[in-house]
Structure 1
Amino acid sequence: MEKRSLSRRDFVKQTGIFTAGLPVVSALPSSFTGMAVAEPVSLHWLDNKAPGFTAGVTWGVPWPRGTVKRDTGFVLQDGGREQVPVQSWPLATWPDGSLKWSAHAIGAGKGLTAGLELTPAKQGIVKGGVSVKEQADSILIDNGLLQCEIGRTGSAFIRSIKRNGKVSALSGKLVLQTQDAYGTEGEGVVTSEWYEGKIDKVTVEQTGPIRAVVKVEGRHTNAKERSWLPFVLRLYFYENSESVRIIHTIVYDGDEHKDFIRGLGLRFDVPLSGELTDRHIRFAGEGQGIFAEAVKGLTGLRRDPGKEVREAQVAGKATPAGDSLPDGVAPRLQYIPAFGDYTLFQPTPDAFEIRKRTREGYGWIQSAYGKRAAGTGYVGTPQGGLAFGIRNFWQSCPAQLDIRNAHTEMGQVTLWLWAPSAAPMDLRFYHDGMGQDTFAKQREGLEITYEDYEPGFGTPMGVARTSELQLWALPSTPSNEQLAGIAAYVQDPHNLTFAISQWEKAGVLGGSWNIPYTSSPEKEKIKEQLDFYFGYYQRQVEERHWYGFWNYGDVMHSYDQDRHVWRYDVGGFAWDNSELSTDLWLWYFYLHTGRKDVFRMAEAMTRHTGEVDVHHIGPFAPLGSRHNVQHWGCSAKQLRISTVANRRFYYYLTADERVGDLMHAEVDAAYTLRTIVPGRKVGQPVGDPQGEYAGVSFGTDWGSLAAAWLTEWERTGNTTAKDRLLNSMATIAAQPNGFFTGNAQMELASGKFLPEKKDKISVSHLSAVFGLPEICAELVALVDMPAFEKAWLQYCELYNASAEEQKAVLGRPLGKLNLRQSHSRLTAFAARRKKDKQLAERAWREFLGGEAGIRKFSDTLHTIGGPAVLNPISEADGISTNAVAQWGLAAMALLDYAGDHYING
C-alpha cells in the first residue's frame, strides 16, 4: 500500500471537500418526538415448555424503532394474567433515542408458565427482595434467602454465604497450581507452586431489586508475591434464589515454556457439625445417576443398626445418635472408617472415576466409574450444606470435583476447571518452525499445509477461557431426585426468549429475516438441507469428540477423505476459528428456527471463539487468530476473527456482561493494525506504532470495526464510536470506486479514510464473507446515508456481474473472482433494495450454480466402522465448513430477500 504524507490540516481540508453533501454525524437525530404504540411481546421458554423451577432468569427483547422510550418501564404477566415482578434495563437504543433492545430479569421460581407477555408501561417501578450494601472492605448482598459477603481485598472473593443466617460456605478463593516444566523424562527436577487469586478491583454492576451483579478482578499470586494469570469473576444473585451463579474468566499471560498450569479451580470451606454418620457426600453422574454415601457408613456392616437407620442414612436424613444405636453397633462406631476425602475426576469426555480415602496420607479406594458426569456435587448434613457444579463439565475436560476433610468441622470443596489429576496444561507451539525464517519460506509453507506461520506469533499470550459455575446453599441434604434436577439445571439452565417473528417485527439486525414467501418443493428442499447441515455438524461434535477445556465450542475446518478424519493436524485446515462466518451461520439459523439445540451450539461457539481464539492482552490484542492446529497458532492475527459481529446475538439475547466486555474491547482495535499488519507478508508496510493512521481494508477490517462501533454506539451512546462509524461510512462512499477501492489509510481517532487514486481498484473474495454483508444490511436500514447505500449496492451488484457490466461501471473488469455462490446473497440484497426482479433471478442462478461452494444438495450419510477407522463415524459428501457456513448464510438470505423469485437452477 502506498503511504501518503498528508498533514492533519490538509487531511481535514480534503475530506471536507469529498464528503460535502453527505450526511454528517450531527445530521442524525438524537431524540424522537413521535411515539408509536409498542405491541406486547409474547415470551416462551427456550425448550417450549414451562420448567419445574428456576434459579432466576435474564433475557433480552428487541423493539421496533420509535415505539418504546429508553427509560420506559415494563409489565410481565403470566398466562393467568398475574403480574410477575420484573427488573428491566436498556441494552441498546436506536439512533432516535428509542429503545432497541431491553433486558429483563425475574427471580427464582417466577414465571413458571408456558405463556408470558411483556408490555411497555408508563411506570416500571418494581419491588424486589435483593439488597446490596457497599462497605469499605466488603459488599453485603441479601436476596431474601441468601446473604453473601464479598471481599474487596485479599483472596476471599466470597467471605461467606448464609442461608437465612446459617453459614453454608466460607472463604471462597481461586486456587492455581503450576509447575516450571511439563514433567517428561530428562527435564530434571520439576518445581511446583501454589497461587491464590488476589483481588485488585470490585465493581457492583447491578444492585437489584431482583438481580444483582458484582464483578471481581485480580491476579493469581504466590507466596513470593509473583502475580500473573489475570482473572475476572462475575457473581449473580437473583431474588429468593438458593444459588449463586459465577462466570469465571482467566487470561493467559505466562511463559508457556515455564508456566504449566497443573490445577485451576475455585475453593470453598464448608462448616460441618454433628455425627459423622450424618455427613453426606453426593456426586451427579450421567443422566439421573447419583453417587450417594455417608462419611461414616451404617450400611453393609456385620452388625445391623436396623432398617430405619439404614434407610435414613441412604436418604440423607438424620440417624440416631451413636449411643442410641443397637448394642451391637453403638460401642463399635469408632472402628468404622470415616472417609473424609472424595474426588470425581473426568479426564476425557467419555470416562470419569470416583475415589475416596479416609484422609490425607492414606490410600485411595476406587469407588465408582462412569462415562459423562454432570459435574455437580454436594457435601453437608440433614441440617444443610453446599451443592456445587460446573457447567459443561465433561465437555470441558479434564475437570475435577474435590471434597476434603468432610470428617472434620470444616470441610473443603474445590471445583477444578483444570483437573490436577490430569497432565499439566500444555500451551507450547506444536513444531519448531521447520526453517521458516523468511516470508518467502513461510509462503511456501502456506502452499503445502495452509499454515500461516511466523516465529513468535504462535503464542498463547493473551488468550482467555470463560467457565460457568453455580453454588447452591441447601437447607438439607437433597434427595437423589432433587440433586439430579439441580445437576440438570446447572448443565442446561432455563432461558426465556421471544418468537422468531419478533426479529422481523422489531427490524433489528437489518430487519430482513423471516419474510414470508410462497413455498415450493424446491424451497422446502433448501430448508431441509439447512437442517441437514446443522445436524451433521452437531453429530460431528459428538463423533469426533470436539471437546476439551480449550476446544469445546469450535468445529474443524476441512476434511481428509483418505484418513476419514478432519484435518486436525494439517496446518491451517484444523480448528475453524470462525473462518467464513461459522458463528453467523449458526446464529442466523437460530434466528430462522428458534431451535434450542441450535441456540446451545451457537452459545458454546460464542463462548469459545470470543475467548480462546482472541488475544485479549499483549501485542496482538484485541485481534483474533486465523484457523490452525492450535487456536492461537496462526500468525494471521486479524479483526475478522475477533469481530463483534459474531458476539452481538448472544449479548442481546442474554444480556451477558462478559460478552459485553469482549465487544467493548474491540472499539479501538484499529490501533493494533499499525504494528500487526494483515498484509505484511505481501508487501504492506508496517505502520508507525504511535501514528495517527493505519491501513484498513474495506472488507474484513472495516466490517469488523463497523460492527464494534455500531454496537458500542447503540449500547452506550458513545459519540466517538458513532463518529468513527459514520465518518468511515461517508469516506468509503466518497472513494472514487467505493468499496471496490479495497482499502485506504484511516485516521484512527475519527474513522475517516484518506482518498485514494481514481484508478485504484482492489477486490478480495474474503471481504464479504466475515460479516460485512450482514453489518452493511443493518447500516443501510439504520442510517440515512444514500451515498453509502449506493456504494454498497454497487459492490453487491457488480461482484458477480459479467465482465462487460463491471467494465461499464468501473472502467475495467474485475477478473476471476472466487466464492461466487456465497456472494449470491449480495446480489439478492441489491435486488431487494432496488426491487429488481431480474437481479433477484440472477441471484438464484448464482446460488444454484454452486460455483466455489456446494453445487448439489445431498443429505446422504455414509457410516464407516473398523478396521478402516478407530471408531464408527459418519461422512457426508463434499463437506467443508467454509462451504457449509457460506451456503447456509446464502440460502437463508436468498429465501428472505428473493424467496418469491426462485428459478429452477
Structure 2
Amino acid sequence: MKNYSLSRRSFVKNSALITSSLYMAPGIAEAFSSDNESPKIIEPVKLHWLEKPEGIYTSGTTLGVPWPMGEVKKESFYLVNENGKQHPVQSWPLAFWPDGSIKWSGHAISRLDKLGKGVKLMPGKGVQPEKALVVEESAEKIKIDTGLVQCNISKSGNQLIKSIVRDGRRGLINGRLVLLHQDGVLGEKENITTSLFEGQIEKVVVEQQGPVRAVVKIEGKHAGSGHEAWLPFVVRLYFYAGGDSIKTMHTIVFDGDEEKDFIKGLGLRFEVPMENELYDRHIRFAGKEQGVFAEAVRGLTGLRRDAGKAVREAQVQGEKTPDEATFPDSVKSRLHYIPAFGDYTLSQTSPDAFSIRKRTKAGHSWLKSGFGDRARGTGYIGGPSGGVAFGIRNFWQSYPAQLDIRNAHTENAEVTMWLWAPDSPAMDLRFYHDGMGQDTYEKQLDALNITYEDYEPGFGTAKGVARTSEMTIAVLEETPDASYFNAITDGVAVPPQLSPEPQYMHQVGVFGKIWDLPDRSTPQKAKIEAYLEDYFAFYRQQVDDRRWYGFWDYGDVMHSYDYDRHTWKYDVGGFAWDNSELSTDLWLWYYFLRTGRSDVFRMAEAMTRHTGEVDVHHLGRFAPLGSRHNVQHWGCSAKQLRISTAANRRFYYYLTGDERVGDLMREQINAVETLKAIPPTRKVSDKSVWETEDDPNKVYVGFGTDYSAISAAWLTEWERTGDKKMKEKLVNSMRTIGAQPKGFFTGGSRMDLQTGEFEIQDRQRASASHLSAVFGLMEICSELVQNIEIPEFKQAWLQYCTLYNASDEEQERELGNALGRLNLGQGHSRLTAYAAQQKQDPALAKRAWDEFFGGAAGYRFDKPAIYTVEGENVLRPVEEGRISTNATAQWGLAAIECLGLVGSELKE
C-alpha cells in the first residue's frame, strides 16, 4: 500500500487543501515533539453503524476514530466500501499523542445513501465530492451552498436563517429564535403579563468549512420590550454536501431571576412560502412508530359531493391533484365553501400523551384531530411545489414539546418548533423549599443527617444551568410520501452514527488501557458479563418505567430507592437525581467501548448531554462548577469539580467530534480558580486547611475528586490543541504530587494557579477519603501515566492503588499509620488490579479479585433479585430490587477494569 507520510507542516497545509476543514489552535504545529521514524503501514479501520441506516434519511454524519500512537502522523484520510469504491470524507485532528502523532481524528460524511456497506477508513488522499459544499462570507451574511440548497445566515439582527433556497425557490424564510416570558405563575399572581422575545445575534463564526461539512456558530441573547436582553443562546448550524437538511444544536443558559422570569415557550420559528392551491397544501405530523397524521389545508375527502377517486387519492398521498377544471361541477363550484384549516398543533405535554388539534384561523375554536402517547416530533408543511420538514430530537423524552403550524392558508405559513411547549405550565425554576431555618453551617450539617441534602441559602439557584436541544430542518422539493416522511422522522429521532469497532479501539489502547473486550471463556467471567448486561438493562428499563424524562431531567437517573413507598427517592434531599455521583457516566461509556452496543451509546449520549449542561453552572458565581446530587439538579450547595469534570465528556467528544461538548470541556480549564471562592470542604474542615486569602495565585486542591477533574481538563486541552501551558501545568502538578511526603495520601495542598505546582506539605500523617478515586481519578491517572513519564508520580499513584484496600498492618508499615476504616472496598478493587497489572504481581491480582467478590459497599457476586410490585401499594406495577446507583456504577467499573487489567488471573 502506498504511504502518504508528510511532515507536520505539510500535513497542515495539504489537509487544509484536501478538506478545507483542518482547524488547529495557534502554535499546535510546534507543540509536540517529532521524530524521523518511518511510519508503519496501517490496516484499514472497519466502521460499523450503531443502528442500521437503511430506511433512515439524514444529510450526513460525523464520527471520531482513534489511531495507535506514533503510526499516523501527517496524513489525510479516505473512505472506501466493501466494493472498493471511495466515498468523500472530510477529516481533521481531534487529539494528538505526546509524540505528535494523531490520536483521534474527526470525519464528516455526506450522502449516506451512496456510502454502501462494509465501510473502512484509511490514511491517504481521498476523492472529493461531486459538488463540494461552498461557504461565502461577507460583512452582512454567510451563504452556505450544499449543492442542493443555499442557506443565507445573518450576522446581525434577529434572523438567524434569512432564507433557504432550493432549485431557485425560497423554501424557508425569516428563521429566528422565540421566547415567551411570563412574570408570574398562574394561581399565585392575579395579573400575569406574557411577553415575546426574539433571539438577537451578537456573534457569528464559521467554525468549519470544507467540501463535505460546514459548521456555523451563532451566539446572542433574547431581546424584547420592557426587559433587558437575557437568556444567552448558542446555536450551531450543520451542513453537509449534497444535503437538503440542516441540523441545529440549540443551547440556552438560564440567567434570569427564578422569582420573576418564567419561560412559557422557547423555540425556533420560521416561515414557509406557500404557492399551491389550498387543497394541495399538505400537513404531516409523525405519530407513534410508523404512524403519520396526514391532512390538507382544504380537504377534498369525506365531502357530501365526491371529488372523484383520482382527486381523493392524490390529496391523501400528498401528490398534486388533477387540474381543477377536471373536478366535478358539484365540487368545483363550491370549493370556497369548504373550510380551510390554516392552524395545526402537535403538543406533547407529558411522556405519555400527545394531541393534535386544528382550526381555520385565529379567533375561531380548535377541533380535536388526534391523540396518542408518544409522538416522534416531526412535521411537514408544503405542497407539490416544495415544502419544509422539521423535527425535534427526543421530542417526547424531553417534554413538554410542541410543533405549531400557523396561517397555512395564507402566502406564508409560520412554523414554530417549541422546545418548551406553550401548552404546558410555565417553566418554574424556583427552589423547592424555603430553607427551613438552615441559616448556619451547624444547622445545615445537622439537616444533612436526616435528608442528606446539603443546603445553603442562595446556592440552590438555577442561574447558569444550560440545556442543549437538537432540531432538524429539511427543505424538500415536494411533499414526501409516507415512507420518505418516516425516513426523515427516523433520521431526526436517531441520527445514524458510525463508530470504530470495539476490537479496534481496544487494540489502539485509548482511555487508559484499563478495559478489555467481553470474555465468557470461564463460568465466572461469563457470570460477570451477564451481570454487566443485567445491570445496564435494569437501568435502561427504569428510565422508561419511572418516566425519567423531561426538558431538564432527560438523561439522568435516580440515586437511591425508598422500599417502603416502592419509588426512587425523588423528593428526599440528596438522594434524588444522581448528577454523575460515583461515575455513572464512566460506567456507561466504558461499557459501550467494550460492547459497541447502540442502546448503551444512546443512554450514555443522553446522560452526557444532560450532566454536562443541566448539572453544571455555566455563568454566575458558581460557574463552571457542577452541583452534587439533589431533588433539583442545581439544588445542592456542594458545587463540585467532580460533577463538571471533563472526564465524563471526553468519550462522546472523541467518538462524535461534537463541538458543544468540546465547549463544555474547555470551560473546565480554569475551573480550579472557582475553589478560592467556594472551597468544597468549607463546612466540614478547619479553615486553615483550605484558606488561601494570603496569596491570590494559590488555591487549595484535594488530590482526589478535585485533581481528577483538573487534570482531566488539562489533559484533554493538551491533547486537543498541543497547548504547552497545559502540558506544563500537568507536569508540574504530577511532579509535585509525587514529591509530597505521603504522595496521594497527603490528601491535598495549595496549588499555584499560574504553574500548576503544589506546595510540598510537611505533615507526615497519611489519610484517604473513600470518594477520592471514584470520580474518574483512577481512569484519568491511568491515562496520565500512559502519556507522561514522571516516575515519582507513577510511584505515588501505584502506592495509593496498592495501599487503599491493604491491611492496617501493611498501611502502617508503608505509611507510618493505618488509614482507618475506609468505604467502597469493592469499587477500589480496580485500583488494586491496576497496581497488580503495573507491578506484574499475582498476589495483588488475587487480592483485587477477592476485594471484588467480597462486595464491600457494593454487591455480593449473586446479583440482587429483581421483582415486580403491583396492586394497591403502588400506582402501577413496578420493578424493583436491592439496587443502588452508587453501587451499580462502581461495581460496573470494577468489573470492567478488573477484567481488563487482571482478567487472566481470575481463577475459578
The bucket for the TM-score relative to the shorter chain is over 0.9
AA in 1 matched with 2:51: D
Q: Deviations over 1:51-73 (max 9, x none)?
A: 6644211100000000001x411
Q: Conserved in 2, the CA contact under 8 Å of 1:518 and 1:899?
A: no
Q: Which moved more, 1:327-336 or 1:404-413?
A: 327-336
SS at match of 1:168: strand
* Mapping for residues 436-835 of structure 1, pairs under 5 Å: 436-514=438-516, 519-685=521-687, 687-688=692-693, 691-835=696-840
Contact in 2 for aligned 1:133/1:139 (Cα 8 Å) = yes
Given that 1:57 and 1:108 are in contact with CA atoms closer than 8 Å, whether structure 2 keeps it comes out as: no
Among 195, 198, 205, which residue is 2:197 paired with? 195
Matches within 5 A, 1:288-303: 288-303=290-305
% of aligned pairs identical? Answer: 59
* Gap change, CA 1:264 and 1:49, over 3 Å in 2: closer
Give 1:102's aligned residue: 105
Q: 1:157 aligns with which of 156, 160, 165?
A: 160
1:515 is displaced (CA, Å) by 6.0
Q: CA deviation at 1:141?
A: 0.4
Q: Give, in angstroms, the shift of residue 485 of structure 1.
A: 1.5
Query: Is there any run of 5+ residues in structure 2 with no aligned partner, and where?
Result: 1-29
Structure 1 residue 266: Cα displacement: 0.2
Task: Provide the C-alpha distance between the structure 2 equivalents of 1:338 and 1:125, rounded to a whole number of angstroms.
Answer: 48
Q: Distance in 2 between matches of 1:776 and 1:172?
A: 47
Measured against aligned partners, the alpha-carbon deviations of 1:765-800 in whole angstroms (never above 9, x if no partner) come to: 000000000001111111111111100000000000
The CA distance in 2 between the partners of 1:32 and 1:126, in whole Å, is: 34
Match of residue 276, structure 1, among 275, 278, 299: 278
Q: Output one character per residue of 1:302-343: Cα deviation in whole Å (capped at 9) or x when no partner.
A: 111111111111111112454542111111111111000000
Check 1:208–1:128 CA distance in 2 against 1; reply closer, same or farther (3 A cut). farther
- SS state at 1:590 partner: helix
SS at match of 1:680: coil
Cα-to-partner distance string for 1:487-526 (whole Å, 9 max, x where unaligned): 1111011011111012222121112322687821011001
For the residues of structure 1 that align with 2:822 and 2:180, how far apart are their CA atoms?
52
Whether the 8 Å CA contact 2:765–2:816 is kept in 1: the answer is no
Q: 1:575 to 1:447 in 2, by over 3 A?
A: same
Residues matched between the structures, number? 876
Q: Read off the aligned partner of 1:722 and give its amino acid letter.
A: K
Contact 2:56 2:490 in 1 (8 A): no
Deviation, 1:35, is 2.5
> Which moves more between the two structures, 428-437 or 112-121?
112-121
**Residue 311 of structure 2: aligned partner:** 309
Name 1:168's counterpart in structure 2. 171
Relative to 1, partners in 2 of residues 1:89 and 1:125: Cα closer, same or farther, differing over 3 Å? farther
The residue matched to 1:394 in structure 2 has which SS?
coil
Alignment map for 1:159-308 (pairs within 5 Å): 159-185=162-188, 187-224=189-226, 226-308=228-310
Query: CA distance change for structure 1 residues 331 and 516 in 2, over 3 Å: closer, same or farther?
Result: closer
Work out the CA distance in 1 between the residues paired with 2:187 and 2:573.
25
1:516–1:224: structure 2 CA closer, same or farther, 3 Å change rule? Answer: closer
Question: In structure 1, how many angstroms separate the alpha carbons of the residues matched to 2:483 and 2:686?
Answer: 63
Instruction: Report how far residue 225 of structure 1 moved.
Output: 6.2
Among 882, 887, 900, the residue aligned to 2:886: 882
Structure 1 match to 2:9: none
Kindly indicate whether the alpha-carbon contact (under 8 Å) linking 2:576 and 2:631 is maintained by their aligned counterparts in 1: yes
Q: Residues of 1 paired with 2:434 and 2:495: CA distance?
A: 44
Picking from 140, 149, 154, the partner of 2:143 is 140
The equivalent of 1:41 in structure 2 is 45
Between the aligned partners of 2:445 and 2:417, the Cα distance in structure 1 is 45
What amino acid is the match of 1:881?
T
Whether the aligned pair in 1 keeps the contact of 2:213 and 2:240 (CA below 8 Å) is: yes
Q: 1:111 to 1:798 in 2, by over 3 A?
A: farther
SS of the residue 1:232 aligns to: strand
Aligned ranges for residues 394-409 of structure 1 at < 5 Å?
Answer: 394-409=396-411
Residue pair 1:613, 1:641 contacting (<8 A) in 2 also = yes
- Equivalent-residue separation in structure 1 for 2:724 and 2:229 (angstroms): 36
Residues 64-102 of structure 1, C-alpha deviation per residue, up to 9 Å, x if partnerless?
A: 000001x41111101100011111000000111000000
Aligned to 1:104, the other structure's residue is in SS state: strand
SS at match of 1:477: coil
2:429 aligns with: 427
Measured at CA, do residues 487 and 510 of structure 1 come closer, stay the same or move farther in structure 2, by a change above 3 Å?
A: same
The residue that corresponds to 1:6 in the other structure is: none
Of 44-53 and 604-613, more deviation after overlay is shown by 44-53
CA distance, structure 2, for counterparts of residue 285 and residue 366 of structure 1: 15
Q: Please say if residues 651 and 660 of structure 1, whose CA atoms lie closer than 8 Å, have aligned partners that are also in contact.
A: yes
With over 3 angstroms needed to count, the CA separation of the structure-2 counterparts of 1:339 and 1:689, relative to structure 1, is farther
Mean CA deviation greater in 296-305 or 684-693: 684-693
Q: TM-score, normalised by structure 1?
A: 0.95
Contact in 2 for aligned 1:651/1:657 (Cα 8 Å): yes
1:83 is aligned to 86
Q: Give the Cα separation in 2 of the matches to 1:73 and 1:443.
A: 57
Q: Which amino acid aligns with 2:599?
A: D
Distance in 1, matches of 2:276 and 2:830, equals 68
The alignment partner of 1:532 has SS state of helix
**Using the alignment, how far apart are the partners of 1:513 and 1:507 within structure 2?**
9
Q: Which amino acid aligns with 1:391?
A: R
SS at match of 1:713: helix
> Deviation per CA, 1:666-696, whole angstroms, max 9, x where unpaired?
0000110000110000135354498101110
C-alpha distance in structure 2 between counterparts of 1:683 and 1:433, whole Å: 23
| Paired residues of 1:743 and 1:762 also in contact (CA < 8 A) | no
Distance 1:487 1:206 in 2: 27
Aligned to 1:858: 863
Check the 8 A contact 2:172/2:270 in 1, yes or no. Answer: yes
SS of residue matched to 2:533: helix
Choose the corresponding residue for 2:843, options 838, 845, 849: 838
Shift of 1:719: 1.6
Distance 1:694 1:138 in 2: 45
Deviations 1:538-562 (A, max 9, x none): 0100000000000000000000011
Residues 32 and 97 of structure 1 are in contact (CA less than 8 Å); yes or no, is this contact kept in structure 2?
no
- Go from structure 1 to structure 2 and tell me whether the alpha carbon gap of 1:454 and 1:665 turns closer, same or farther (over 3 Å shift): same
Q: Secondary structure at the match of 2:554?
A: coil
Aligned partners of 2:310 and 2:322 also within 8 Å: no
CA contact (8 A) 1:296 1:336 kept: yes
**2:466–2:614 Cα contact (<8 Å) kept:** yes
Of 374, 377, 381, the match for 2:376: 374
Aligned-partner Cα distance in 1 for 2:820–2:42: 50
The answer to whether 1:55 aligns with 2:59 is yes
Cα 1:682–1:412, aligned 2, differ >3 Å: closer, same or farther?
same
Q: In structure 2, do the counterparts of structure 1 residues 181 and 225 end up closer, same or farther at CA, with 3 Å as the change threshold?
A: closer
Q: Give me the TM-score of the superposition, normalised by structure 2.
A: 0.95
Post-superposition Cα deviations, 1:151-197, rounded to whole Å, max 9, x if no partner, equal: 00000000001112211100100000011111214x22111111000
Q: Give the 3 Å change call, closer, same or farther, for CA 604–234 of structure 1 in structure 2.
A: same
Kindly indicate whether the alpha-carbon contact (under 8 Å) linking 1:800 and 1:824 is maintained by their aligned counterparts in 2: yes
What is the rounded CA distance, in whole Å, between the counterparts of 2:869 and 2:248 in structure 1? 42
- Contact 2:275–2:385 under 8 Å retained in 1: no
Deviations 1:177-234 (A, max 9, x none): 011111214x221111110000000000111110000000000000346200000000
Aligned partner letter, 1:143: T
Q: Which amino acid aligns with 1:902?
A: L
